[in-house]
Amino acid sequence: MDQKCALVTGAARGIGLATTDLFLEMGWRVAMIDRDGEELTKVAAERDNVQAIIRDVSNPQEVDAMVRDTLAFAGRIDALVNNAGVAEFGPVKDCTFDMWRRVMETNLDGVFLCTQACTDALKETQGAILNIASISGLRASTLRVAYGTSKAAVIQLTKQHAAELGEYNIRVNCVAPGPVKTKLSMAVHSPEIIAAYHDAIPLNRYGSERELAEVICFLCSEKASYVTGQIVAVDGGFDSTGVGLP
Ligand code: NAD
pLDDT in tens, 125-159: 999 999 999 999 999 989 999 999 999 999 999 99
Statement: residue 245 has pLDDT above 80: no
The values of phi and psi at residue 66, to 5°, are -60, -40
Which residue owns the Cα nearest ligand 1 atom 41?
A: 180
Rounded to whole angstroms, the Cα distance separating 177 from 216 reads 10
List the one residue out of 149, 234, 224, 181 whose CA is nearest residue 13.
Answer: 181
This model of the complex carries an ipTM of 0.99
Cβ 82 under 6 angstroms from ligand 1: no
User: Residue 68: is its pLDDT beyond 90?
Assistant: yes
Mutational test site, ligand 1, from 7, 8, 9, 15, max ligand atoms within 8 Å of CB: 15
Q: What are φ and ψ of residue 122, in 5° steps?
A: -70, -30
Phi, psi of 140 (to 5 degrees): -85, 140
Residue 46's domain comprises: 5-237
**Residues 6 and 47 sit within 8 Å (Cβ to Cβ):** no
**Element (DSSP H or E) covering residue 131:** strand 128-132
Residue 13 lies in a domain: yes
Establish if 242 belongs to a structural domain: no
Q: Is the CB of 58 under 6 A from ligand 1?
A: yes
- Pick the atom of ligand 1 nearest to 107's CA: 32
CATH code of residue 91: 3.40.50.720
Number of domains in the chain: 1
Tell me, in angstroms, the distance from the centre of ligand 1 to residue 101's CA: 16
Over residues 5-48, the pLDDT tens digits come to 999 999 999 999 999 999 999 999 999 999 999 999 999 999 99
Residue 56 is predicted with a pLDDT of 98
pLDDT at res. 122: 98
182 lines ligand 1 (CB under 6 A): yes
